[in-house]
Amino acid sequence: MNGLFRALGVDAKALPRTRPLYRRIVTLLEGGIARGAVPAGQQLPPERDLAAAMKISRATVVSAYRELEARGLVRGYVGRGTFVSAKPDAASAPFAWRGKIAAAALQASDATTVRDLVRAAADPNLISVAAGVPALDCFPTDAFQRAMNHVLATQGDAAWRHGPTEGLPSFRAALAHRFGGEPEHILVLAGAQQGLDLLARCLIDPGDAVIIDRPGYLGAIQTFRNAGARLVGWDVTRADTDELEELLLRYRPKLIYTNPTHHNPTGVTLPIRTRRELLDLAARYRVPIVEDDTYRDLALTGPPTPPSLFALDDAHAVVIRLNSFAKMLAPGLRVGWISAVRPIVDQLALIKQQVDPHTQNLSQLVLCELVEQGVLDRHLATLKVEHRRRRDAMAQALRQHVPAAQLRFSVPDGGMYLWCELPPAIRARAVQDHARRESVMVLTGDPFYVDQGGDHQLRICYTSQPAARAVQIAQTLARSLTAAAREAADPPAAVRMV
């Protein structure tokens, strides 16, 4: 006790009696801690003892210790006492902000992949085939502008006021009419990613298992992982439903997430027989399916696209379907929707209401016009021609400029991606690094895997660049593959020394 007063340089009995007294004690101790006279780890005298020594009430000492604790300078441990925990921050930085961040936010994976993708897609100095972007130069800007002007002239009042959380009735009706389902089974979203977040909040408790395509959409992997789910991969290219049943038995998952049509990243489309088996399993094991249906209308060639799981599910209502205008029109629009049974739409709307009371009305009204007037369908027909041209140009350029042994891929029937296999000796990250140095941005396979995987795979979004650029991209990739192969055979000194 006397040591403490010596360290503080005061005489306990001669303390100035300024009020409130506890503030005086706080100031005194704060100063001593700041100067280091009372070092971190030192135990402070028990409240009762300090009160007796200073001839003040114990309550005053309790108040002082509490304030010091509130300031993060001391910490009390039940049964052990109060200890100095840290020096006060410099006045210019009152907050160690990191100390304020919630545990869940700190634990969340930092999601740099998606941010990098989005940043690269917006960087005019990069030729990006990384992010999933349709042919934006085909965007029906004139029709959009006409629809916008019409909406502003006739429905401005509906655009500016609050809208219902579920979405505007006219838009929900137009979506149901064009894409199937009932208007009241639709929840309009600010993009499909918002839908994933709402679904995770609605359905996932930490520790729940989720079965997800392997490889599968990286945004879904990230969202479910950050919600605390244990992710279990189902090999979507083999599409073995016996394997799925084993996973259902073994992991008892909360939901299955799959993208069965023009799959991202592999391009596969599950045949109707597999779809029916999937639905049977979901119904039998009572596990809902979240069907990512965002690529459905991007078929290019091949047989007619089989119906969605949602459409095949009339008897069971086990499917929650996720859609978006990002791939059909433009990712910058940020409009999507969920189709599901009423109990799920209602619960999701309750959550959405708290995070984003409703999706922007103006976008809903304009998209409603574009859907109803057939602009969307005419645009999809245009996209089909242009995307096919881009796919074929990219496939041909890669075949011509890259040795087949270094890059294997199948030409998909639809969607937006070439999923490319590298030889085991070449690391995808090395190829990505080399290509980026030449201002071409490709995506490695690893973020599409819930476990180890993808180190020797690349995803190329062939729709995002004009066909005229295919050769430049292929040549860059060829140089990058060669460089990466050379590096693997003859690693830099730092690697060899290990």
Contacts (CB under 8 A) with its own copies, residues 175-234: 190-191, 193-194, 197, 201-205, 208, 222-223, 226
Give buried/exposed letters for 18-57 (b at 16+ CB in 10 A, else e). Answer: eeebbebbbebbbebbeeeebeeebebbebeebbebbebe
Task: Candidates 332, 374, 466, 491: give the one binding its own copies (CB under 8 A).
Answer: 332
Task: Candidates 24, 254, 434, 459: give the one binding its own copies (CB under 8 A).
Answer: 254
Q: Which of 459, 449, 456, 455 is nearest to 221 (CA)?
A: 449
Task: Candidates 42, 85, 305, 347: give the one binding its own copies (CB under 8 A).
Answer: 347
Q: Dig out the tokens for 196 from the structure.
A: 């994933």
- CA-angle at 319, arms to 317 and 321, nearest 5°: 130
- Shortest Cβ distance from residue 49 to its own copies (Å)? 22
- Shortest Cβ distance from residue 428 to its own copies (Å)? 22
Q: Which is nearer to its own copies, 56 or 200 (CB)?
A: 200
Query: x/- contact string, 278-297, with its own copies (CB under 8 A)?
Result: ----xxxxx-x---------
Q: Which is nearer to its own copies, 226 or 269 (CB)?
A: 226
Neighbour count for residue 233 (Cβ, 10 Å) = 18
Stretch that binds its own copies, among 36-44, 171-179, 353-361, 453-461 (CB under 8 A): 353-361
Is residue 63 within 8 A of residue 50, CB to CB? The reply is no
Contact positions with its own copies (CB under 8 A) in 386-415:
none
d(CA 100, CA 56): 34
Task: Candidates 74, 129, 256, 333: give the one binding its own copies (CB under 8 A).
Answer: 333
Q: Which is nearer to its own copies, 149 or 400 (CB)?
A: 149
Q: Which is nearer to its own copies, 122 or 385 (CB)?
A: 122
Contact positions with its own copies (CB under 8 A) in 122-151:
122, 131, 133, 136-137, 139, 141, 144-145, 148-149
Asked if residue 276 binds its own copies (CB under 8 A), the reply is no
Largest CA distance in the chain: 94
422: helix, strand or coil: coil
Asked if residue 121 binds its own copies (CB under 8 A), the reply is yes
Q: How many residues appear in the chain?
A: 498
Asked if residue 248 binds its own copies (CB under 8 A), the reply is yes
DSSP 124: T
Is residue 382 within 8 A of residue 390, CB to CB? The reply is no
DSSP 88: P
d(CA 193, CA 322): 9
Contact positions with its own copies (CB under 8 A) in 76-105:
89, 91-95, 97-98, 100-105
d(CA 291, CA 319): 7
Is residue 134 within 8 A of residue 327, CB to CB? The reply is yes
Task: Candidates 46, 76, 164, 307: give the one binding its own copies (CB under 8 A).
Answer: 164
Query: x/- contact string, 411-450, with its own copies (CB under 8 A)?
Result: ----------------------------------------
Terminal alpha carbon distance of the chain:
56
Q: Which is nearer to its own copies, 3 or 169 (CB)?
A: 169
d(CA 226, CA 242): 29
Task: Candidates 17, 19, 78, 110: give the one binding its own copies (CB under 8 A).
Answer: 110
Is residue 62 within 8 A of residue 69, CB to CB? The reply is no
- Shortest Cβ distance from residue 23 to its own copies (Å)? 10
Task: Candidates 48, 252, 273, 437: give the one binding its own copies (CB under 8 A).
Answer: 252
Is residue 127 within 8 A of residue 238, CB to CB? The reply is no
Asked if residue 490 binds its own copies (CB under 8 A), the reply is no
Q: Which of 483, 447, 453 is nearest to 116 (CA)?
A: 447
Q: Which is nearer to its own copies, 291 or 487 (CB)?
A: 291
Q: Which is nearer to its own copies, 102 or 489 (CB)?
A: 102
Q: Which is nearer to its own copies, 102 or 493 (CB)?
A: 102
Task: Candidates 36, 271, 357, 491: give the one binding its own copies (CB under 8 A).
Answer: 357
Q: Which is nearer to its own copies, 134 or 306 (CB)?
A: 134
Task: Candidates 6, 35, 48, 115: give the one binding its own copies (CB under 8 A).
Answer: 115
Burial class, 72, CB count within 10 angstroms (exposed 0-12 / middle 13-18 / buried 19+): middle
d(CA 37, CA 181): 72
Contact positions with its own copies (CB under 8 A) in 12-71:
63, 66-67, 69-71
- Shortest Cβ distance from residue 276 to its own copies (Å)? 15
Q: Which of 308, 367, 335, 354 is nearest to 192 (CA)?
A: 335
230: helix, strand or coil: strand
Q: Dig out the tokens for 362 from the structure.
A: 């103006």
Asked if residue 118 binds its own copies (CB under 8 A), the reply is yes
